[in-house]
Amino acid sequence: MPATTAPEQKGTDIQRTPAQSSEIRQRFLAVDTANVADVLDDMGHGNYGLSPRLTLHTGSRLAGWAYTIQGEMAPYPGTGDALKMQACNGISPDEVSVWSGGGEGVCYFGELIALGMMQRGSAGALVDGGIRDVRWLRQLDFPVVAAFRSAIQSIGRWRVTGFQAPVYLPGATTARVVVYPGDFILADEDGAIVIPNSIVEDVLAKAEEMTAREVAIREAIGNGLSLADALKQFGHV
């Protein structure tokens, strides 16, 4: 198994207008991670799936541009994490906060952070660590992918060390996946995947084509065509 994904063009190297970014995000909400994963395989970028331990805990789908936050387990005095608050206040519309840095056993994302980020237009969160306030996050309908749940707070135990810099997340087919600020994050019931910023539009267009073929195949089978004949007519997906 490769140790990490090969570095792609950094996410911040490609600029889009807010309207373009929002349109792309809305289109991604209509495709499945399975189709995106297949497209990435076909394009030779097969190591961008995230670890199966990162699962969707709230919301039905997560899609947005990566806003990265990194931290570490470290005891510290006081009752707050100033850098964490600074990081949370920097997120923009259509962005997903991507939290990296371990933190086994503790929570560093919950309802109040979600409320603050929602006010700024955040589209959800991907947390390689613990979350809590799950009942309230569900009521907010705020999509969150996380490694686990924990009632134990991070204050005094885990702290933010930086944000909007490349981070590592555990991969499905590689030990680590590099996530750059501005990469695209997509997650649903099947899992979570990273799409490098430099190929986002190409991946989206191909995934939409695959989705349209799947819809046609379902309709054909529903109308009595055999699976073999449907695949012969429409092609494999």
Looking at the domain 17-198, which fold is it? Glucose Oxidase; domain 1 (3.50.30)
Tell whether pTM > 0.85: yes
112 is in an annotated binding site: yes
**Which of 32, 99, 33, 34 has the alpha carbon at shortest distance from 72?**
99
Do 39 and 46 touch, CB atoms closer than 8 A?
no
pLDDT, one tens digit per residue, over 161-197 is: 999 999 999 999 999 999 999 999 999 999 999 999 9
What's 47's DSSP letter?
-
Residue with tokens 């686990």: 148
pLDDT at position 14 is 82
pLDDT at position 60 is 92
Residue 171 burial (10 A CB sphere; 0-12, 13-18, 19+): buried
Q: What is the pLDDT along the chain (237 residues), one digit of tens a residue?
A: 677 776 655 555 688 999 999 999 999 999 999 999 999 999 999 999 999 999 999 999 999 999 999 999 999 998 889 999 999 999 999 999 999 988 889 999 999 999 999 999 999 999 999 999 999 999 999 999 999 999 999 999 999 999 999 999 999 999 999 999 999 999 999 999 999 999 999 999 999 999 988 776 677 677 676 767 666 666 666
Helices (H), 120-196: 134-140
40 is in an annotated binding site: no
What's 78's DSSP letter?
S
227 is in an annotated binding site: no
Residues in CB range of 141: below 8 A, 6 or more apart: 58, 59
Residue 106 burial (10 A CB sphere; 0-12, 13-18, 19+): buried
End-to-end CA distance of the chain: 26
111 is in an annotated binding site: yes
Q: Which of helix, strand or coil describes residue 201?
A: helix
Tokens of 9: 């063009």
135 is in an annotated binding site: no
Rounded CA gap, 183 and 161, in Å?
20
131 is in an annotated binding site: no
pLDDT at position 7 is 62
Q: Do you know the residue count of the chain?
A: 237
